[in-house]
Amino acid sequence: MKPHLSTLQNIYLSFYWFASNVQWTALIIIVVPREVLYLVGKNHSASVLSILVIIGSLIATVVQPWGGLVSDHLRHRWGRRRPYILAGTSGNIAGLLLMGYARHNFWIFVTGYMLVQLSSNFAQAAYQALIPDLVPDTQRGTAAGYMGFMTQFAIIFGALLPRLLGDTTVYWAMAGFLVVGWAITHWGVREQSSGQAVTSTEPTHWIRDMWISPRQHPDFWWVFGTRLLVMLGFGTLENYLFYYLKFTAHISNPESTVFDLLALLTVGSLVSVLAAGWLSDRLGQRKSLVVIGGSLMGLTALVFAVTTNISLIMVMGVVFGFGYGIYLSTDWALAVDVLPPGRLEGRSMGLWQASFNLAQVGAGLIAGAVVAPLALLINLGVAYRILFIVTFLYFILGSIFIQKVKTAR
Protein backbone atom coordinates (compact mmCIF):
# COMPACT_ATOMS: atom_id res chain seq x y z
CA MET A 1 0.00 0.00 0.00
CA LYS A 2 1.29 3.44 -0.90
CA PRO A 3 1.20 5.90 2.01
CA HIS A 4 -1.21 8.84 1.97
CA LEU A 5 0.46 12.04 0.73
CA SER A 6 0.16 15.23 2.75
CA THR A 7 -0.35 18.64 1.17
CA LEU A 8 3.35 19.43 1.60
CA GLN A 9 4.37 16.13 0.00
CA ASN A 10 2.13 16.85 -2.98
CA ILE A 11 3.80 20.25 -3.34
CA TYR A 12 7.27 18.68 -3.20
CA LEU A 13 6.25 16.11 -5.80
CA SER A 14 4.79 18.67 -8.21
CA PHE A 15 7.33 21.48 -7.83
CA TYR A 16 9.66 20.29 -10.58
CA TRP A 17 6.68 20.43 -12.93
CA PHE A 18 6.25 24.09 -11.98
CA ALA A 19 9.87 24.89 -12.88
CA SER A 20 9.69 23.00 -16.17
CA ASN A 21 6.50 24.77 -17.20
CA VAL A 22 7.95 28.19 -16.39
CA GLN A 23 10.62 27.42 -18.96
CA TRP A 24 8.30 26.07 -21.65
CA THR A 25 5.75 28.85 -21.24
CA ALA A 26 8.44 31.49 -21.72
CA LEU A 27 10.00 29.68 -24.68
CA ILE A 28 6.87 28.72 -26.59
CA ILE A 29 4.63 31.69 -25.96
CA ILE A 30 7.11 34.56 -26.35
CA VAL A 31 10.86 33.83 -26.54
CA VAL A 32 11.02 31.48 -29.53
CA PRO A 33 8.31 33.20 -31.66
CA ARG A 34 9.92 36.59 -30.99
CA GLU A 35 13.40 35.35 -31.86
CA VAL A 36 12.17 33.61 -35.02
CA LEU A 37 10.36 36.78 -36.10
CA TYR A 38 13.58 38.76 -35.60
CA LEU A 39 15.77 36.23 -37.41
CA VAL A 40 13.65 35.37 -40.47
CA GLY A 41 11.12 38.19 -40.81
CA LYS A 42 7.34 38.44 -40.89
CA ASN A 43 6.63 36.52 -44.09
CA HIS A 44 8.55 33.38 -43.11
CA SER A 45 8.02 33.43 -39.35
CA ALA A 46 4.96 31.12 -39.24
CA SER A 47 6.53 28.42 -41.43
CA VAL A 48 9.91 28.51 -39.64
CA LEU A 49 8.24 28.39 -36.24
CA SER A 50 6.17 25.42 -37.43
CA ILE A 51 9.33 23.59 -38.53
CA LEU A 52 11.00 24.18 -35.17
CA VAL A 53 7.91 22.99 -33.31
CA ILE A 54 7.67 19.87 -35.46
CA ILE A 55 11.34 18.88 -35.11
CA GLY A 56 11.38 19.58 -31.38
CA SER A 57 8.18 17.63 -30.84
CA LEU A 58 9.47 14.64 -32.83
CA ILE A 59 12.52 14.59 -30.56
CA ALA A 60 10.23 14.67 -27.53
CA THR A 61 7.99 11.93 -28.96
CA VAL A 62 10.94 9.54 -29.22
CA VAL A 63 12.70 10.56 -26.01
CA GLN A 64 9.69 10.42 -23.65
CA PRO A 65 8.86 6.68 -23.84
CA TRP A 66 12.47 5.57 -24.18
CA GLY A 67 13.57 7.81 -21.32
CA GLY A 68 10.77 6.40 -19.20
CA LEU A 69 11.84 2.87 -20.11
CA VAL A 70 15.42 3.64 -19.05
CA SER A 71 14.18 4.67 -15.61
CA ASP A 72 12.02 1.52 -15.47
CA HIS A 73 14.99 -0.79 -16.14
CA LEU A 74 18.20 0.81 -14.88
CA ARG A 75 18.30 1.07 -11.11
CA HIS A 76 20.29 3.36 -8.81
CA ARG A 77 20.63 3.86 -5.07
CA TRP A 78 18.95 7.29 -5.45
CA GLY A 79 15.84 5.55 -6.75
CA ARG A 80 14.24 4.57 -10.05
CA ARG A 81 13.60 8.11 -11.29
CA ARG A 82 15.68 10.81 -9.60
CA PRO A 83 19.09 10.10 -11.24
CA TYR A 84 17.57 10.53 -14.69
CA ILE A 85 15.74 13.69 -13.68
CA LEU A 86 19.10 15.18 -12.66
CA ALA A 87 20.83 14.11 -15.88
CA GLY A 88 18.09 15.59 -18.05
CA THR A 89 17.96 18.82 -16.08
CA SER A 90 21.70 19.33 -16.48
CA GLY A 91 21.49 19.01 -20.26
CA ASN A 92 18.44 21.26 -20.29
CA ILE A 93 20.33 24.06 -18.56
CA ALA A 94 23.22 23.71 -21.01
CA GLY A 95 20.80 24.08 -23.93
CA LEU A 96 19.21 27.19 -22.44
CA LEU A 97 22.57 28.90 -22.03
CA LEU A 98 23.54 27.98 -25.60
CA MET A 99 20.36 29.67 -26.82
CA GLY A 100 21.05 32.70 -24.63
CA TYR A 101 24.54 33.22 -26.00
CA ALA A 102 23.70 32.50 -29.65
CA ARG A 103 24.03 36.25 -30.39
CA HIS A 104 21.20 36.04 -32.91
CA ASN A 105 22.98 33.28 -34.85
CA PHE A 106 20.10 31.18 -36.15
CA TRP A 107 21.86 27.80 -36.18
CA ILE A 108 23.38 28.13 -32.72
CA PHE A 109 19.97 29.17 -31.42
CA VAL A 110 18.35 26.14 -33.06
CA THR A 111 21.03 23.77 -31.71
CA GLY A 112 20.41 25.02 -28.17
CA TYR A 113 16.67 24.68 -28.60
CA MET A 114 16.99 21.06 -29.75
CA LEU A 115 19.26 20.26 -26.81
CA VAL A 116 16.61 21.70 -24.49
CA GLN A 117 13.99 19.49 -26.16
CA LEU A 118 16.14 16.37 -25.83
CA SER A 119 17.22 16.90 -22.23
CA SER A 120 14.00 18.31 -20.82
CA ASN A 121 11.94 15.45 -22.18
CA PHE A 122 14.39 12.87 -20.85
CA ALA A 123 14.01 14.39 -17.39
CA GLN A 124 10.23 14.60 -17.71
CA ALA A 125 10.00 10.95 -18.77
CA ALA A 126 11.43 9.80 -15.45
CA TYR A 127 9.69 12.51 -13.44
CA GLN A 128 6.14 11.72 -14.63
CA ALA A 129 6.51 8.13 -13.52
CA LEU A 130 6.83 9.31 -9.91
CA ILE A 131 3.04 9.78 -9.84
CA PRO A 132 2.03 6.15 -10.41
CA ASP A 133 5.05 5.09 -8.31
CA LEU A 134 4.15 7.12 -5.21
CA VAL A 135 0.52 8.25 -5.31
CA PRO A 136 -2.17 5.95 -3.84
CA ASP A 137 -5.22 5.17 -5.99
CA THR A 138 -7.52 7.31 -3.86
CA GLN A 139 -5.36 10.42 -4.38
CA ARG A 140 -4.72 10.29 -8.13
CA GLY A 141 -7.11 13.12 -8.90
CA THR A 142 -5.76 15.23 -6.05
CA ALA A 143 -2.14 14.68 -7.11
CA ALA A 144 -3.05 15.44 -10.72
CA GLY A 145 -4.76 18.59 -9.45
CA TYR A 146 -1.52 19.74 -7.86
CA MET A 147 0.33 19.01 -11.11
CA GLY A 148 -2.26 21.04 -12.98
CA PHE A 149 -2.05 23.82 -10.42
CA MET A 150 1.71 24.00 -10.88
CA THR A 151 1.28 23.98 -14.67
CA GLN A 152 -1.04 26.96 -14.57
CA PHE A 153 0.77 28.81 -11.79
CA ALA A 154 3.92 28.58 -13.91
CA ILE A 155 2.23 30.39 -16.80
CA ILE A 156 2.29 33.74 -15.04
CA PHE A 157 6.02 33.46 -14.32
CA GLY A 158 6.82 32.12 -17.77
CA ALA A 159 4.99 34.99 -19.46
CA LEU A 160 6.45 37.58 -17.07
CA LEU A 161 10.12 36.66 -17.41
CA PRO A 162 10.55 37.71 -21.10
CA ARG A 163 8.83 41.03 -20.35
CA LEU A 164 11.10 41.94 -17.46
CA LEU A 165 14.48 40.47 -18.44
CA GLY A 166 16.91 40.98 -21.28
CA ASP A 167 17.66 38.56 -24.10
CA THR A 168 20.44 36.72 -22.22
CA THR A 169 19.22 37.20 -18.66
CA VAL A 170 15.90 35.46 -19.34
CA TYR A 171 17.74 32.21 -20.10
CA TRP A 172 19.65 32.40 -16.82
CA ALA A 173 16.36 32.98 -15.02
CA MET A 174 14.78 29.89 -16.62
CA ALA A 175 17.84 27.85 -15.66
CA GLY A 176 17.56 29.13 -12.09
CA PHE A 177 13.94 28.02 -11.86
CA LEU A 178 14.95 24.54 -13.05
CA VAL A 179 17.68 24.23 -10.42
CA VAL A 180 15.31 25.24 -7.61
CA GLY A 181 12.51 22.99 -8.91
CA TRP A 182 14.83 20.01 -9.23
CA ALA A 183 16.27 20.52 -5.72
CA ILE A 184 12.86 20.75 -4.02
CA THR A 185 11.50 17.64 -5.71
CA HIS A 186 14.76 15.69 -5.40
CA TRP A 187 15.08 16.15 -1.65
CA GLY A 188 11.38 16.40 -0.86
CA VAL A 189 10.34 13.13 -2.54
CA ARG A 190 11.12 9.98 -0.56
CA GLU A 191 11.63 7.49 -3.37
CA GLN A 192 12.72 4.04 -2.26
CA SER A 193 16.25 2.94 -3.16
CA SER A 194 16.28 0.45 -6.00
CA GLY A 195 19.92 -0.55 -5.64
CA GLN A 196 22.44 -0.96 -8.44
CA ALA A 197 20.78 -3.91 -10.19
CA VAL A 198 19.91 -3.76 -13.87
CA THR A 199 16.71 -5.65 -14.66
CA SER A 200 17.40 -6.14 -18.36
CA THR A 201 19.95 -4.97 -20.93
CA GLU A 202 18.74 -7.11 -23.84
CA PRO A 203 17.73 -4.86 -26.78
CA THR A 204 14.96 -7.28 -27.78
CA HIS A 205 13.43 -7.00 -24.31
CA TRP A 206 13.45 -3.23 -24.48
CA ILE A 207 11.85 -3.18 -27.93
CA ARG A 208 9.17 -5.63 -26.77
CA ASP A 209 8.51 -3.57 -23.65
CA MET A 210 7.76 -0.50 -25.75
CA TRP A 211 4.61 -2.10 -27.16
CA ILE A 212 1.19 -1.72 -25.54
CA SER A 213 -1.39 -3.84 -27.33
CA PRO A 214 -4.48 -1.86 -28.42
CA ARG A 215 -6.49 -5.10 -28.25
CA GLN A 216 -5.50 -5.85 -24.66
CA HIS A 217 -5.47 -2.25 -23.43
CA PRO A 218 -7.90 -0.26 -25.62
CA ASP A 219 -8.71 2.27 -22.90
CA PHE A 220 -5.10 3.41 -22.73
CA TRP A 221 -5.18 4.19 -26.45
CA TRP A 222 -8.57 5.94 -26.25
CA VAL A 223 -7.16 8.21 -23.54
CA PHE A 224 -4.07 8.69 -25.71
CA GLY A 225 -6.10 9.55 -28.82
CA THR A 226 -8.52 11.93 -27.14
CA ARG A 227 -5.67 13.74 -25.41
CA LEU A 228 -3.93 13.98 -28.80
CA LEU A 229 -6.97 15.79 -30.21
CA VAL A 230 -7.32 18.18 -27.27
CA MET A 231 -3.59 18.91 -27.28
CA LEU A 232 -3.77 19.63 -31.02
CA GLY A 233 -6.11 22.44 -30.05
CA PHE A 234 -3.99 23.55 -27.14
CA GLY A 235 -0.79 23.44 -29.19
CA THR A 236 -2.34 25.56 -31.95
CA LEU A 237 -3.52 28.20 -29.51
CA GLU A 238 -0.23 28.14 -27.62
CA ASN A 239 2.07 28.39 -30.63
CA TYR A 240 0.04 30.85 -32.72
CA LEU A 241 -1.54 33.11 -30.10
CA PHE A 242 1.23 35.68 -30.59
CA TYR A 243 0.62 35.84 -34.36
CA TYR A 244 -3.18 35.82 -33.93
CA LEU A 245 -3.02 38.87 -31.69
CA LYS A 246 -0.64 40.65 -34.05
CA PHE A 247 -2.22 39.91 -37.42
CA THR A 248 -5.91 39.21 -36.65
CA ALA A 249 -6.65 41.34 -33.60
CA HIS A 250 -4.10 43.95 -34.79
CA ILE A 251 -2.55 44.42 -31.34
CA SER A 252 0.49 46.67 -31.65
CA ASN A 253 2.21 45.17 -28.59
CA PRO A 254 1.28 41.46 -28.58
CA GLU A 255 3.87 40.59 -25.90
CA SER A 256 1.98 42.69 -23.35
CA THR A 257 -1.40 41.33 -24.41
CA VAL A 258 -0.13 37.75 -24.25
CA PHE A 259 0.93 38.36 -20.67
CA ASP A 260 -2.44 39.90 -19.71
CA LEU A 261 -4.35 37.08 -21.41
CA LEU A 262 -2.26 34.36 -19.80
CA ALA A 263 -2.68 36.00 -16.41
CA LEU A 264 -6.47 35.80 -16.79
CA LEU A 265 -6.20 32.24 -18.10
CA THR A 266 -4.17 31.34 -15.03
CA VAL A 267 -6.78 32.85 -12.72
CA GLY A 268 -9.49 30.77 -14.37
CA SER A 269 -7.48 27.56 -14.17
CA LEU A 270 -6.38 28.06 -10.58
CA VAL A 271 -10.04 28.34 -9.58
CA SER A 272 -10.86 24.94 -11.07
CA VAL A 273 -7.81 22.72 -11.19
CA LEU A 274 -7.47 21.60 -7.56
CA ALA A 275 -11.23 21.35 -7.04
CA ALA A 276 -11.69 19.26 -10.21
CA GLY A 277 -8.97 16.81 -9.20
CA TRP A 278 -10.45 16.44 -5.71
CA LEU A 279 -13.98 16.01 -7.12
CA SER A 280 -12.82 13.35 -9.56
CA ASP A 281 -11.50 11.33 -6.60
CA ARG A 282 -14.67 11.79 -4.56
CA LEU A 283 -17.26 11.36 -7.32
CA GLY A 284 -15.40 8.95 -9.59
CA GLN A 285 -16.61 10.88 -12.66
CA ARG A 286 -13.41 11.76 -14.47
CA LYS A 287 -14.82 11.34 -18.00
CA SER A 288 -17.66 13.80 -17.44
CA LEU A 289 -15.23 16.39 -16.12
CA VAL A 290 -12.95 15.83 -19.13
CA VAL A 291 -15.91 16.57 -21.43
CA ILE A 292 -16.77 19.77 -19.56
CA GLY A 293 -13.18 21.01 -19.65
CA GLY A 294 -12.63 20.23 -23.32
CA SER A 295 -15.93 21.86 -24.33
CA LEU A 296 -15.08 25.11 -22.56
CA MET A 297 -11.73 25.24 -24.34
CA GLY A 298 -13.47 24.58 -27.66
CA LEU A 299 -15.90 27.43 -27.02
CA THR A 300 -12.97 29.78 -26.46
CA ALA A 301 -11.33 28.83 -29.77
CA LEU A 302 -14.63 29.42 -31.60
CA VAL A 303 -15.07 32.89 -30.07
CA PHE A 304 -11.47 33.78 -30.99
CA ALA A 305 -12.29 32.84 -34.58
CA VAL A 306 -15.20 35.27 -34.88
CA THR A 307 -14.14 38.33 -32.87
CA THR A 308 -11.34 40.86 -32.49
CA ASN A 309 -12.92 42.56 -29.48
CA ILE A 310 -10.13 42.65 -26.95
CA SER A 311 -12.48 42.72 -23.96
CA LEU A 312 -14.27 39.57 -25.14
CA ILE A 313 -10.93 37.92 -25.87
CA MET A 314 -9.86 38.58 -22.28
CA VAL A 315 -13.12 37.18 -20.88
CA MET A 316 -12.70 34.03 -22.95
CA GLY A 317 -9.18 33.70 -21.59
CA VAL A 318 -10.73 33.17 -18.16
CA VAL A 319 -13.22 30.66 -19.62
CA PHE A 320 -10.42 28.76 -21.35
CA GLY A 321 -8.40 28.67 -18.14
CA PHE A 322 -11.36 27.34 -16.16
CA GLY A 323 -11.91 24.57 -18.70
CA TYR A 324 -8.22 23.77 -19.01
CA GLY A 325 -7.89 23.46 -15.23
CA ILE A 326 -10.73 20.92 -15.18
CA TYR A 327 -9.31 18.99 -18.10
CA LEU A 328 -5.72 19.01 -16.89
CA SER A 329 -6.28 17.43 -13.50
CA THR A 330 -8.94 14.90 -14.50
CA ASP A 331 -7.31 13.69 -17.74
CA TRP A 332 -3.97 13.11 -16.01
CA ALA A 333 -5.68 11.05 -13.29
CA LEU A 334 -7.67 9.17 -15.94
CA ALA A 335 -4.42 8.27 -17.73
CA VAL A 336 -3.00 6.76 -14.53
CA ASP A 337 -6.27 4.86 -14.03
CA VAL A 338 -5.90 3.06 -17.39
CA LEU A 339 -2.14 2.33 -17.31
CA PRO A 340 -1.36 -1.29 -18.19
CA PRO A 341 -0.44 -3.36 -15.12
CA GLY A 342 3.20 -4.10 -14.36
CA ARG A 343 6.32 -2.18 -13.43
CA LEU A 344 6.75 -0.18 -16.64
CA GLU A 345 5.05 3.02 -15.50
CA GLY A 346 7.82 5.18 -16.96
CA ARG A 347 7.31 3.65 -20.39
CA SER A 348 3.54 3.97 -20.17
CA MET A 349 3.57 7.59 -18.95
CA GLY A 350 6.14 8.43 -21.63
CA LEU A 351 3.90 7.00 -24.33
CA TRP A 352 0.92 8.86 -22.90
CA GLN A 353 2.91 12.11 -22.89
CA ALA A 354 3.87 11.41 -26.50
CA SER A 355 0.28 12.33 -27.34
CA PHE A 356 1.16 15.91 -26.38
CA ASN A 357 4.37 15.85 -28.41
CA LEU A 358 2.67 14.37 -31.47
CA ALA A 359 0.02 17.05 -31.09
CA GLN A 360 2.73 19.69 -31.28
CA VAL A 361 3.91 18.10 -34.53
CA GLY A 362 0.38 17.91 -35.88
CA ALA A 363 -0.44 21.44 -34.78
CA GLY A 364 2.60 22.77 -36.61
CA LEU A 365 1.98 20.75 -39.77
CA ILE A 366 -1.72 21.56 -39.96
CA ALA A 367 -1.24 25.22 -39.05
CA GLY A 368 1.44 25.56 -41.70
CA ALA A 369 -0.81 23.83 -44.24
CA VAL A 370 -3.71 26.12 -43.36
CA VAL A 371 -2.04 29.50 -42.90
CA ALA A 372 0.75 29.49 -45.50
CA PRO A 373 -1.39 28.87 -48.63
CA LEU A 374 -4.29 30.95 -47.34
CA ALA A 375 -1.97 33.90 -46.70
CA LEU A 376 -1.28 33.97 -50.46
CA LEU A 377 -4.99 34.18 -51.25
CA ILE A 378 -6.61 36.13 -48.42
CA ASN A 379 -5.74 38.46 -45.58
CA LEU A 380 -3.35 36.88 -43.04
CA GLY A 381 -5.71 37.77 -40.20
CA VAL A 382 -8.57 35.84 -41.84
CA ALA A 383 -6.27 32.85 -42.28
CA TYR A 384 -5.73 32.74 -38.52
CA ARG A 385 -9.52 32.90 -38.00
CA ILE A 386 -9.90 29.75 -40.11
CA LEU A 387 -7.10 28.09 -38.16
CA PHE A 388 -8.96 28.72 -34.91
CA ILE A 389 -12.15 27.17 -36.32
CA VAL A 390 -10.10 24.03 -36.97
CA THR A 391 -8.88 24.32 -33.38
CA PHE A 392 -12.49 24.33 -32.13
CA LEU A 393 -13.07 20.99 -33.89
CA TYR A 394 -10.05 19.45 -32.16
CA PHE A 395 -11.40 20.25 -28.71
CA ILE A 396 -14.94 19.03 -29.43
CA LEU A 397 -13.87 15.71 -30.97
CA GLY A 398 -11.44 15.05 -28.13
CA SER A 399 -14.24 15.64 -25.63
CA ILE A 400 -16.74 13.39 -27.42
CA PHE A 401 -14.51 10.34 -27.90
CA ILE A 402 -13.44 10.13 -24.23
CA GLN A 403 -16.74 8.25 -23.74
CA LYS A 404 -15.11 5.27 -25.49
CA VAL A 405 -13.13 4.55 -22.30
CA LYS A 406 -14.87 1.64 -20.57
CA THR A 407 -12.81 0.63 -17.52
CA ALA A 408 -12.80 4.06 -15.88
CA ARG A 409 -15.68 6.41 -15.05
pLDDT digits over 279-336, tens only? 888 887 788 889 999 999 999 999 988 888 888 888 988 999 999 989 988 888 888 8
Strand partners, 74: 198
For the domain bounded by 8-190+201-404, which CATH number is listed?
1.20.1250.20
Most confident among 34-48, 138-152, 203-217, 241-255 (mean pLDDT)? 138-152
Q: How far is CA 291 from CA 125, 149, 227, 284, 321, in A?
A: 27, 19, 11, 14, 15
Q: What is the mean pLDDT of the chain?
A: 84
Percent of the chain with pLDDT over 90: 23
pLDDT at 198: 46
pLDDT at 15: 92
Q: Where are the domains of the chain?
A: 8-190+201-404
At 197, the pLDDT band (50, 70, 90 cuts) reads: very low
Collapsing DSSP to helix, strand or coil, 302 comes out as helix
pLDDT digits over 148-167, tens only? 888 878 878 887 888 888 77
Q: Indicate the burial class of 190 (C-beta count within 10 angstroms; 0-12, 13-18, 19 or more).
A: exposed
At 199, the pLDDT band (50, 70, 90 cuts) reads: low
Mean pLDDT, rounded, for 371-388: 82
pLDDT at 174: 93
Identify the sign of the CA torsion 86, 136, 352, 145. negative
Q: Are residues 367 and 50 in contact, defined by beta-carbon separation less than 8 angstroms?
A: yes
Average the pLDDT over each of 111-120, 190-199, 251-260 and give the range with the smallest value. 190-199
Q: How far is CA 393 from CA 232, 237, 298, 300, 380, in A?
A: 10, 13, 7, 12, 21
pLDDT at 193: 52
Average the pLDDT over each of 32-36, 112-116, 271-275, 314-318 and give the range with the smallest value. 32-36
pLDDT at 202: 59
Whether 192 has a pLDDT exceeding 70, the answer reads no
pLDDT at 42: 67
